[in-house]
Structure 1
């Protein structure tokens, strides 16, 4: 496992560390970088990673954290090579699929999932990697007018 300074990472408060770790592994193919145990030996913090620079820190919710607010208004976007492969993984793991896979006007194919704590996860891949940015913007603007 490669170690590097993370220029940015997301920290998510989770209600059940064990089920969250399983979900991120089975659905998104994330693997643990390290896990930090609490006094009882159970993991209270886990650094997990998908591809390079797709680092997420899972932290066990505490009484001070408002467990009811987890996931509200939070959408995390991950760039992937094959959205349809992740769609198959998600369905096989009985993950909650919110939308997709769907082709977007901004030249992206996306899959939107709900993780166990209500965080929206968008998996996105470019459709036409040769398409110029101006052409993508023209397509987006055309769709706004329709």
Structure 2
């Protein structure tokens, strides 16, 4: 696994680290970069990665921490939405929408993780389409 400084990453509090780690691995094909155990050997922080620069840090939720799932949607670029739709169905993931084709030249699958975070997987439909043509099509 390649190690690099992360130019941006998201920290997400999860209610059950084991369930969340399994979900991200089984549904989104993420891999663990590093897992930090507490004094009891339970994972308290997990740095996970999908594609390059798709890094997420999962943190065990502390009783006094504030979380905000409203208004936050993670968007991940993928190469084959339909494979992820099949993978999500097999893993019993909650599918909110899709796969669906969007006017902005994207095919998307919208999922909800075990803690209620919304994850949108997005794939470009026509890779040869010029940006200006996409924008004109949306207008």
User: Which category describes the TM-score, using the shorter chain as reference length?
Assistant: over 0.9
Aligned to 1:2: 2
- TM-score, with structure 2 as normaliser: 0.98
Alpha-carbon distance between aligned partners in 2 of 1:16 and 1:72, rounded to the nearest angstrom: 19
Count of aligned pairs between the two proteins: 139
Aligned to 1:56: 56
Aligned to 1:41: 41
Aligned to 2:138: 140
Superposed displacement of residue 70, structure 1: 4.4
Change (3 A) 1:70 1:116: farther
Question: Structure 1: which 5+ runs fail to align?
Answer: 142-146
Aligned to 1:16: 16
2:89 corresponds to which of 75, 88, 91? 91
Aligned to 1:78: 76
Secondary structure of 2:92 counterpart = coil
Q: Give the ranges of 4+ consecutive aligned residues of structure 1 lying more than 4 Å apart after TM superposition.
A: none
Question: Structure 2: which 5+ runs fail to align?
Answer: none
2:115 corresponds to which of 106, 114, 117? 117
Q: Does 1:127 align with 2:118?
A: no
Say what the alpha-carbon RMSD is for the aligned residues: 0.8
Alpha-carbon distance between aligned partners in 2 of 1:48 and 1:16, rounded to the nearest angstrom: 15
